[in-house]
Chain A
Amino acid sequence: MELLINMVLLTLLAVITVGIIRVRNLFGVVVLAGAYSFLMASVMIVLDAVDVAMTEASVGAGISTVLALGALHLTKTEEAPPRYSAMIPLFVAVGTGAMLIYGTWGLPAFGLADTPMNTGVGLDYLNRNYGETNIPNVVTSVLASYRGFDTLGETTVIFTAGIGVLLLLKRFQREG
């Protein structure tokens, strides 16, 4: 059952992506992107990544969409027809895909418990978490404590982006 839902949702994702490629009206594209994020979020729920799903929903479908719309509001909403043939890009993309298929075909099958990844550090966290931190949500404890430095970096990234956007867009009295 899990498996089936998972596959259905994924297929829908693929369909929407095609839409994103083909639609020329940028508003439409942004809306599709929002839907894409929602689907992605639900896939994440199926994959038991509830925190991630929540974030993806609020960020991908929420903030990103708002920002994109804001940007559209400041620029224009129709995509010009392509000037050059899309052969080379297609080649690049397909090449990457081929490399990926080559690479991923050796990956462990979906949903198994005894893969190196699921017997590695991840399991370790699950086992030791209770003794070391009183935080039932292992994601939170790993995020904020075991790999807290990543999260500091992540916060720094947000900080950087925030200041960056202000540097680029904020109007100071002198100009304008």
Chain B
Amino acid sequence: MNLIREIIANYNYLITIFLMVAGLYIVVAKSNMIKTLLGLGVFQTSVYLLYLSPGKILGGTPPILDESFAVYSNPLPHVLILTAIVVGVATLALGLALVVRINEAYGTIEEDEIMDHVDRDDQA
């Protein structure tokens, strides 16, 4: 019983952690560059939860002031995460652009194949 309460209390964090681990796993394990970048996206998105969850106040409303409400959720995490999202998309765009160029230069987007080419270049 107690454990369940614990879990409910920390459910957001648990999912957050799961997403982080999953995202990180994709990044490190997958050789396909586009998939890696999407995994990177998942990894970054999980941070959004890490910030937003503790800012939520049960029974609160969005932080748009109005006479009819008294309790508002914490606005600061929202601001930070807006910035974080922007950073995320910027990184994704740049990463994809790089992948396109790499594909043109090496004819593949599988990282381990490309590393073979790189090693060959180093020998030459």
Q: Is the interface of B mostly helix, strand, loop or mixed?
A: helix
Asked whether, in the complex, the Cβ of B109 is within 8 Å of the Cβ of A75, the reply is yes
Asked whether, in the complex, the Cβ of A56 is within 8 Å of the Cβ of B60, the reply is no
**Which chain A positions have C-beta within 8 A of B11?**
6-7, 10, 110
**Which chain A positions have C-beta within 8 A of B73?**
47-49
CB distance from A147 to the nearest CB of B (A): 6
Q: How far is the CA of A129 from the CA of B56 in the complex (A)?
A: 19
**Which one of A13, A72, A97, A123 contacts B20 once the chains associate, using CB atoms below 8 Å?**
A97
**Which one of B28, B34, B52 contacts A92 once the chains associate, using CB atoms below 8 Å?**
B28
Q: How far is the CA of A151 from the CA of B78 in the complex (A)?
A: 13
Interface flags for A94-117 (1: CB within 8 Å of B; 0: not) read: 101100110011011111110101
Asked whether, in the complex, the Cβ of A110 is within 8 Å of the Cβ of B41, the reply is no
Asked whether, in the complex, the Cβ of B10 is within 8 Å of the Cβ of A104, the reply is yes
Q: Is the interface of A mostly helix, strand, loop or mixed?
A: helix
- Residue B8 at the A interface, CB < 8 A? yes
- Nearest to A137 among chain B residues (CB) is B64
**Which chain A positions have C-beta within 8 A of B81?**
49, 52
Q: How far is the CA of A138 from the CA of B62 in the complex (A)?
A: 9
Asked whether, in the complex, the Cβ of A68 is within 8 Å of the Cβ of B12, the reply is no
- Nearest to B81 among chain A residues (CB) is A52
Asked whether, in the complex, the Cβ of A20 is within 8 Å of the Cβ of B26, the reply is yes
Asked whether, in the complex, the Cβ of A142 is within 8 Å of the Cβ of B75, the reply is yes
Asked whether, in the complex, the Cβ of B53 is within 8 Å of the Cβ of A123, the reply is no
3 nearest A-B pairs in the assembled complex, by CB-CB distance: A111-B58, A161-B90, A109-B9
Interchain residue pairs with CB less than 8 A apart (22): A10-B49, A17-B19, A21-B26, A26-B32, A46-B56, A56-B48, A70-B96, A71-B100, A76-B103, A79-B35, A92-B25, A94-B21, A100-B16, A110-B13, A110-B54, A113-B71, A117-B54, A118-B54, A125-B75, A136-B64, A138-B64, A164-B94
Q: Which residues of A approach B to under 8 Å, CB–CB?
A: 2-3, 6-7, 10-11, 13-14, 17-18, 20-21, 26, 29-30, 33, 36-37, 40, 43-44, 46-52, 55-56, 59-60, 63-64, 67-68, 70-72, 74-76, 79-80, 82-84, 86, 88-90, 92-94, 96-97, 100-101, 104-105, 107-113, 115, 117-118, 120-123, 125-126, 129-130, 136-139, 142-143, 147, 150-151, 153-154, 157-158, 160-161, 164-165, 168-169
